[in-house]
Structure 1
């Protein structure tokens, strides 16, 4: 078999939900891929997820151990790579006492990867940022958010996770501007990510779907979000990596359909029938959610989003890069169907 001389792409955090779909797209398009793992024991797990997505050969995939909290192995990880897609995010401490426990690792991890990429002569880094770096902390905001917007980290009740995403992305842009020496940067800012689940590593949005299907959410908070399919998020990363006009640009990954959590439950019932019979049909009053959040740290970020307009525009990605996302319903249905499959597999003796 002839040697593959196509560009090498480093994808950080290869076991993650978004990262696996990006690796899948890269391998399908003939790129060589190297991916980082904090624990090398997860190699077979990643290959299993890729097999679920249709990959049968792994000649063009390699693994390297690297952790965003350490300088070790990053020079080796980026060696020979033409592009870096930085998806990995430090494992957050959900029971943090000081918000800097989330903010500092996120910022330091991004800078660690960018320094290594610059020093290795990488052409472009695509950073997976988040809607949390765009549309949080704006009281009484009206109309869809665009890439011109940044979250207000000085506002009251902004969760540390969203602060960490905002500060990390701003640090990345500042680094490239001041110390990049020609290193190119693009960012992709996804909203709630749905879509086919290939393994046991999936997003927060997917977890809420599982809770709905299991009947653990009898009623849901009054939160309206935009959604996007993970396959389209992966496509947008590749466009941001390859297209010349993407250099220096941010791109919101969104279907631009604003749905309540109750809308999501209704889509599950419509698309999955009996498998979604436990999906919620009621909403919780905002006062109740805020009261529970006082004692439940995991609800604090949810409570901070109540009553917020979190609609987004995908116009830039569509017009500049020709990106064409699936509908939110298709993305949510894909999550639901693959989650049902996982749940049934896990119940087998």
Structure 2
């Protein structure tokens, strides 16, 4: 073992004591007490390791703490630093990054980013923690947080639940039925077993039914399909940030038909292709992009949590960042005038 590896291993073993000793004393206790009680506050002047150390302390508190920083790069760095301090409890922190560089970006979204966004949205249901988000995510409008939360549910080993009813709820929540569960957002049924991989989970779960009773819940490894850990309960959340309803799809269809009037052939063709794709895949990105034309969004990120403290890093700096983001969106909107019909 090299000296660098030895130092790292020594830190891992002693980080709990280091963290406790570093934050001990009346000034720190008063500081953390004020942060914990504040619903909305700003944090500035925490340089070096002090900022991540403070956030690691807050991550262990009950409830959800939303920490807003300037950009994606800063969010990623902070997440890694806080996870280093938390060690085995690193699951208490998650960064919620934007799907893409902007709402007009046509590149494919990173699935890992999508899963982590869902995990952040379900943070309160899973016991709380620290959510680190750049300013661009704070400015996003979300569609029906209450409806999304209504699609979340928990099942308990030993409880009475009909397997057919559970399958129906999984389908409504956007899960895909497959032959073998290897990817997040999928499930399968084999005899008395139902395998499901929640989007915010590290491992899929195997549910064993005895009639209408859920006999056991076990985690398993996708590559070997072998179970290894028994659980008392399992949380299940939707596999997308929105849940499409029939009447909303109809409203979008009507709006698209209205927009076709007066469009030239090229733009009509573009819009019709998106319309056809939307009808075939109502849970796709097309739905999320076109929904603003019937619903401008009814909530922000913190609306997914009943009890949430919001802390912004360097308030004055973030105000300038927000102005830059809005200016960038306005410029992109103008550039797409002749390219994309029905742009949000």
TM value normalised by structure 2: 0.27
Report the structure number with the largest CA radius of gyration. 2
Greater RCO, 1 or 2 (C-alpha within 8 Å, sep 6+): 2
